[in-house]
């Protein structure tokens, strides 16, 4: 589906439209991790498609950065936040993307970037497969009796 917000909301087949219109929803968990109460704040992010964006990222919680393709997710995290932290903790010569400030850095003690680049010559060997990440996901799905028909086989194994 492509078009205006009105078009997306009117499209009955669009899962995005169904969520935005309130026809479908995801239940809020009854219990959530409290976090630390602290956050990292990126002020005035202006790199690539970002237009003077301010963002607060809570610490001590699992956080997902979502948005449409080309909306600046990777720029915000990889080019601005990661490089600003890397500059602070590792290499002062690093040049982060254009922004005014990253606040709350005093609450962080190190920065690690884990991407999906292949390790070695096998394109399917990336950090997630190397550390057994997918094994943990498979176990979680099996123990929770989770079943995604498109992703699981009849024996409960998951195709990655």
Structure confidence by residue, pLDDT tens digits, 51-70: 999 999 999 988 889 888 89
Residue 28 backbone dihedrals phi, psi, to 5 degrees = -75, 130
Task: Identify the residue with better confidence: 159 or 70.
Answer: 70
Q: CA 23 → CA 14, 20, 45, 48, distances in Å?
A: 11, 8, 34, 34
Tokens for 97, please give them: 């993307």
pTM of structure: 0.65
Question: Residue 55: in which H helix or E strand, if any?
Answer: strand 53-58
Return the pLDDT at 89: 94
Query: Distance between CA 86 and CA 99 in Å, rounded?
Result: 15
Handedness of CA 86, 88, 94, 97 (dihedral sign): positive
Q: Is the pLDDT reported for residue 91 higher than 90?
A: yes
Average pLDDT over all residues of the chain: 85
Q: Is the pLDDT reported for residue 99 higher than 90?
A: yes
Return the pLDDT at 53: 96
Tokens for 30, please give them: 């009854």
Handedness of CA 136, 138, 139, 143 (dihedral sign): positive
Q: Is the pLDDT reported for residue 150 higher than 60?
A: no
Other CB atoms within 10 Å distance of the CB of residue 68: 8
**Across 86-107, average pLDDT:** 96
Return the pLDDT at 151: 52
Query: pLDDT tens digits, residue range 16-49?
Result: 889 889 999 888 888 888 899 999 999 999 999 9
Instruction: Give the bridge partners for 40, in sequence order.
Output: 57
Q: Is the pLDDT reported for residue 159 higher than 70?
A: no
- Write the burial class of residue 92 (CB in 10 Å: 0-12 exposed, 13-18 middle, 19+ buried): exposed
């Amino acid at each position: 589906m492509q078009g205006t917000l009105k078009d997306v909301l009117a499209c009955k087949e669009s899962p995005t439209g169904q969520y935005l219109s309130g026809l479908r929803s995801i239940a809020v968990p009854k219990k959530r991790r409290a976090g630390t109460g602290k956050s990292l704040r990126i002020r005035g992010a202006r790199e690539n498609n970002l237009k003077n964006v301010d963002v607060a990222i809570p610490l001590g919680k699992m956080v997902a950065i979502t948005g449409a393709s080309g909306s600046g997710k990777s720029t915000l995290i990889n080019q601005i936040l990661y490089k600003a932290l890397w500059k602070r903790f590792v290499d002062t010569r690093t040049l982060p993307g254009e922004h005014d400030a990253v606040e709350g850095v005093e609450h962080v003690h190190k920065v690690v970037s884990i991407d999906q680049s292949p390790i070695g010559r096998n394109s399917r060997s990336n950090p997630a497969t190397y550390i057994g990440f997918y094994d943990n996901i498979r176990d979680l799905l099996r123990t929770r009796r989770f079943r995604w028909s498109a992703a699981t086989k009849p024996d409960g194994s998951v195709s990655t």
